[in-house]
């Protein structure tokens, strides 16, 4: 091997290695933000999620594998609003990655870019699992997704200026497709306006706000508090006087109380994907809302 050939080979390998390292490593706390980051960054990003659609995002284990993943990440994309307060601080501390520190450009909180619902007038443990910043389950209103997409695109351009134009172009393309899809979904959802529903947990409020469904009760007597037999019986009696069309829960939630009420009240037990990956159809953000609308409309009939 001649010296010139060695030099050319070394330079080529170095360029390939540099190109591989140039791709941003993104860790998302929830599947919806992993999907959104992929929409905005394409193959310029290596995206993973710390949770799945079948896990309660309030409660996950801070496993060593997650710590290792965050240690090498360039960007952390989470909901914030105290949704991950039970586990994310441990991951941040143990990973000791200054890029992801709160306040750093590599720490992105989606909840900072939307108008929150259910901001409590007081904070009292007797009220159950309430969040000072408001209801953190913001992903079920597609208008929020668009707001977060604009902010996340700008953050990607900030921390990866060399590819800023790519992120801006992909955001424009996504926002156009998203606006068209929202128009379709809102037209399809007209029969749902005013439909009375029971939710298992206070995690569907952004969906109700967008579509105009009316939550008449929740299975949980207080957020995060499991209902007992007596409380479920009271709810059954309540629905006899104030009927609901369906009882709704997310794919990750315990089905037992919902199934009991469904059988006792004679209404459908509707399992929504809640986030990307929650069922076979919700493979991305578009599929999430296609599936959600389809399930609600079928139950309302």
Residue 7 lies in a domain: no
Same domain, 29 and 176: yes
Least confident of 8-17, 145-154, 190-199, 283-292: 8-17
Same domain, 168 and 214: no
Mean pLDDT over residues 24-51, rounded?
97
Q: How high does pLDDT run on average in the chain? A: 91
pLDDT above 90 (res 131) = no
Q: Is 238 helix (H, G, I), strand (E, B) or coil?
A: helix
> Which of 124, 159, 184 represents a domain boundary (last residue)?
184
Same domain, 75 and 146: yes
Same domain, 40 and 176: yes
Q: Is 78 helix (H, G, I), strand (E, B) or coil?
A: strand
Pairwise CA distance, residues 264 & 270, whole Å? 15
Task: Answer for the pair 103, 150: CB distance below 8 angstroms, yes or no.
Answer: no
pLDDT in tens, 165-221: 999 999 999 999 999 999 999 999 999 999 999 999 999 999 999 999 999 999 988
Same domain, 118 and 61: yes
Number of H helices, E strands in the chain: 10, 8
Same domain, 175 and 67: yes
Q: What is the pTM of this model?
A: 0.90
Mean pLDDT over residues 218-232, rounded?
87
Q: From the centroid of its chain, how far is CA 179?
A: 19
Same domain, 50 and 174: yes
Same domain, 150 and 29: yes
Residue 108 lies in a domain: yes
Residue 2 lies in a domain: no
| DSSP class per residue in 155-190 | HHHHH-GGGHHHHHHHHHHHHHHHHHHHHHHHHHTG
Number of domains in the chain: 2
pLDDT above 60 (res 22) = no
Q: Specify the pLDDT at position 227.
A: 87
Least confident of 15-19, 216-220, 295-299: 15-19
Q: In this structure, what CATH number is given to the domain that contains residue 292?
A: 3.40.50.1980
Residue 8 lies in a domain: no
Task: Answer for the pair 26, 46: CB distance below 8 angstroms, yes or no.
Answer: yes
Residue 10 lies in a domain: no
Q: Is 47 helix (H, G, I), strand (E, B) or coil?
A: strand
């Amino acid at each position: 091997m001649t010296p010139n050939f060695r030099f050319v080979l070394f330079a080529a390998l170095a360029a390939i290695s540099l190109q591989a390292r140039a791709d941003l490593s993104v860790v998302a706390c929830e599947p919806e933000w992993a999907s959104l980051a992929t929409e905005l960054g394409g193959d310029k990003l290596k995206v993973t999620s710390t949770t799945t659609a079948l896990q309660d995002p309030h409660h996950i284990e801070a496993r060593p594998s997650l710590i290792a993943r965050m240690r090498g990440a360039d960007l952390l994309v989470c909901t914030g609003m105290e949704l991950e307060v039970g586990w994310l601080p441990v991951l941040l501390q143990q990973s000791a990655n200054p890029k992801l520190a709160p306040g750093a450009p590599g720490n992105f909180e989606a909840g900072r870019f939307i108008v929150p619902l259910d901001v409590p007038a007081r904070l009292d443990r007797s009220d159950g699992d309430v969040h000072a910043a408001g209801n953190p389950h913001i992903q079920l209103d597609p208008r929020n997704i668009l707001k977060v997409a604009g902010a996340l695109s700008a953050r990607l351009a900030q921390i990866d200026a060399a590819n800023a134009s790519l992120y801006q172009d992909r955001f424009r393309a996504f926002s156009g497709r998203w606006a068209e899809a929202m128009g379709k979904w809102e037209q399809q959802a007209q029969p749902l306006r005013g439909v009375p529903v029971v939710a298992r947990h206070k995690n569907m409020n952004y969906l109700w706000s967008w579509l105009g469904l009316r939550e008449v009760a929740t299975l949980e007597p207080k957020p995060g508090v499991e209902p007992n037999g007596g409380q479920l019986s009271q709810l059954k009696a309540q629905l006899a006087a104030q009927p609901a069309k369906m009882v709704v829960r997310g794919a990750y939630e315990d089905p037992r109380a919902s199934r009991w009420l469904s059988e006792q009240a004679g209404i459908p037990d509707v399992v929504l994907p809640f986030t990307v990956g929650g069922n076979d159809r919700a493979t991305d953000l578009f599929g999430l809302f296609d599936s959600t609308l389809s399930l609600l409309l079928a139950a309302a009939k």
